[in-house]
Amino acid sequence: MKGLYFQQSSTDEEITFVFQERENLLITEDNFVKLQVKACALSQINTKLLAEMKMEKDFFPVGREIAGIVLDGILPLDSEDPGFCEVVRVHEHYLVHKPEKVTWTEAAGTIRDGVRAYTALHYLSHLSAGKSVLIMDGASAFGTIAIQLAHHRGAKVISTACSLEDKQCLERFRPPIARVIDVSNGKVHVAESCLEETGGLGVDIVLDAGVRLYSKDDEPDVKLQLLPHKHDIITLLGVGGHWITTEENLQLDPPDSHCLFLKGATVAFLNDEVWNLSNVQQGKYLCILKDVMEKLSTGVFRPQLDEPIPLYEAKVSMEAVQKNQGRKKQVVQF
């Protein structure tokens, strides 16, 4: 039985994924079950986090968002079993029942983004009806789920688009997005657009997709030049607002902190792996997994999924995902 692994010794420029033979699984511990995998979603591997958690190995298992018989869930960060395998061994505390109306690919392709959206909007920013929220890069797989959760909670949503295709995609959302800001040409000021939309009050919640720490002239990466500067985020944030950032190396200078202090605003870091780092959070984590499946079943969540991928194409597809290529969620179907 083969599984897909990531070669840790490879550099960012030379990403290597390999299939390796695995021994037959023997369940010898209590509360562990065998899971026959039906679908597994592809997500980027955070190699920096693995290094900081002292979890470096020559080969690291790939694929954690899985759906199958008997159950469905996300494999923990320290799992030794790759999701890209016919059978895996997993603790029952990381599993949740899949509703009958939900397909295997929908379950696997939505579970991680659903957890991230709940972490950002429910636990870190306490989203409620009537609040305004800016969701950056809303046409991404994660952005789509975040927008749908915000709309379900009764929030006013503003979003950014990185291309004409993304803009057209966001304009088709129902209920409609209050304003779609096209940043593809680099001429539109996100802060000005948000302040105009909110009557100068600023938005209550910002969920970024990365920020620029330097000026455009000092930023060589063209993709990073399309991101808002950290000063723009602080400017458009309203009084008592929440800034949820995915930028793990965010640097705030004393004037930035002073401005946030005057607004009574908060900054929180979105790291969805925290749920698996402490057993104290297990109950909340399972509630999130269950709620994600329920909203998927009732149509609140409508994920953007690409066509299912056969297992033999998983290696090539994972290489593209690791390089952040493609917009829709990639799911391998067994």
49-107, pLDDT tens digit by residue? 766 766 666 677 777 788 888 645 666 666 666 566 677 777 777 788 888 899 999 99
Tokens 């994600």 locate to 292
Range of the domain at 67: 2-109+279-333
Confidence class for position 24, pLDDT limits 50, 70, 90: low
Check residue 69 and give its pLDDT.
83
Domain boundary among 245, 269, 293: 269
* pLDDT at 269 exceeding the cut of 80: yes
* pLDDT at 135 exceeding the cut of 80: yes
The more confidently predicted of residues 96 and 204 is: 204
User: pTM of the prediction?
Assistant: 0.85
Q: Are residues 104 and 138 in the same domain?
A: no
Check residue 42 and give its pLDDT.
83
Q: What's the mean pLDDT when you consider all of the chain?
A: 83
Average pLDDT over residues 139-153: 94
| 5-9, 138-142, 208-212, 295-299: least confidently modelled range | 5-9
* pLDDT at 144 exceeding the cut of 60: yes
Of 271, 197, 264, the residue nearest 234 (C-alpha): 264
119 inside domain: no
Q: Are 160 and 172 in contact, with CB atoms under 8 Å apart?
A: no
Q: Are residues 262 and 193 in the same domain?
A: yes
Q: How far is CA 87 from the centre of its chain?
A: 25
Q: Which amino acid is at 235?
A: T
How many whole angstroms separate alpha carbon 73 and alpha carbon 33? 12
CATH number of the domain within which 199 lies: 3.40.50.720
Output the CA–CA distances (angstroms, integers) from residue 233 to 129, 215, 228, in the order listed. 22, 14, 7
Q: Are residues 319 and 206 in the same domain?
A: no
The more confidently predicted of residues 159 and 28 is: 159
Domain boundary among 213, 234, 269: 269
Q: Are residues 224 and 288 in the same domain?
A: no
* pLDDT at 12 exceeding the cut of 70: no
Q: Are residues 145 and 216 in the same domain?
A: yes
Count of structural domains within the chain = 2
Dig out the tokens for 295 from the structure.
Answer: 């909203």
- 332's enclosing H/E stretch is strand 331-333
